[in-house]
Copies of this chain bind each other. A is one copy, B any other.
Amino acid sequence: MTQSIKALVFDVYGTLFDVHAVKAKADELYPEHGADISQVWRQKQLEYSFLRQLNGQYVPFSQVTRDALRYALLQLKLHVTEENIAALMEAYLELSHYEEVEAVLHEMSGKQLAVFSNGSHDMLDSLIEQSGLGSLFDHIISVDDIKQYKPTPAAYMHALNTLGLKREEVLFMSSNGWDITGAKSFGFRTAWINRSGLPVEELNLDPDSIYDDLNGLLEWK
C-alpha cells in the first residue's frame, strides 16, 4: 500500500500555511476585529472561487482574495482604504507554515513532493519562496494554468498530468474538507489534515486517512 504511493501532493492554504496568521495584521489595522475579518475573508474567498467556477467567470485567486477582503471589510462595516487592503494582501504572501511542516517534508523526500493550490502563481510562488520550503518541492502546481478551480475534476486532472502518474499513486493532503472530497471523487488517495477537529463532510466521500497534523504522514514513509 505504502509502496504504491509515488507522490505526496499538498494543498497550501490552511494545510501547509496558517491562513489565520493574517489575523495579527488585521488586528493591527482594525483593533479587536482581526478574528472576524480573517473568518469572513476566508469564507468569502472560498465562496467566490466556487461561484466564479459555477458561473464560468474565472479570475485569478489573487483577484478573488482581494474581492473577498473588500466584501469582508464592508460587511463588518469597517473603513475600507486601498492602503489597508494592500497591507492585508501583503500579509497573505507572508503566511507562516505550520511548525511540523519542514521536518515532515524532509522525512518524506524519497517521494515526489508537490504543492497544488487554487492560488495563482503571483501569490503562490512568493509564499513558497519566502517560506524556505521551495527546494523541497518537485512541482508548484496552480489551477491558474488551466483556469479551473478545485474542486472540479479538471483541476485535479491538471495536477495528475503534471505528475505523470496514475491517480491511485497520488496521496493528496488538505485541511479543507471540500478539497478532500473533490480529490477523493477524482480518484486520488486522500489524507485529511483535520487541524480544527471538525466532523467529516457529509458528502459520502470520506477521506482514506485522517490526521491531526502532517506528522500522521510519517506512516507512509
A 164-208 to B, binary, CB cutoff 8 A, 1 in contact else 0? 000000000000001001100100000000000011011101000
A 91-114 to B, binary, CB cutoff 8 A, 1 in contact else 0? 000000000000000000000000
Question: Does A153 interact with chain B (Cβ within 8 Å)?
Answer: yes
Question: Does A68 interact with chain B (Cβ within 8 Å)?
Answer: yes
The interface centre, meaning the residue of A44, A153, A202 with most chain B CB atoms within 10 A of its CB, is A202
Chain-B contact segment, one of A7-15, A29-37, A50-58, A131-139: A50-58
- Within 8 Å CB of A119, what residues of B? none
Q: With the chains together, A199 CA to B74 CA distance in Å?
A: 6
Chain A interface residue bracket vs B:
20 to 34
Considering the complex, which residues of chain A in the window 7-52 have a beta carbon less than 8 Å from any beta carbon of chain B? Answer: 44, 47-48, 50-52
A159 to chain B, nearest CB (A): 16
- Within 8 Å CB of A149, what residues of B? 54
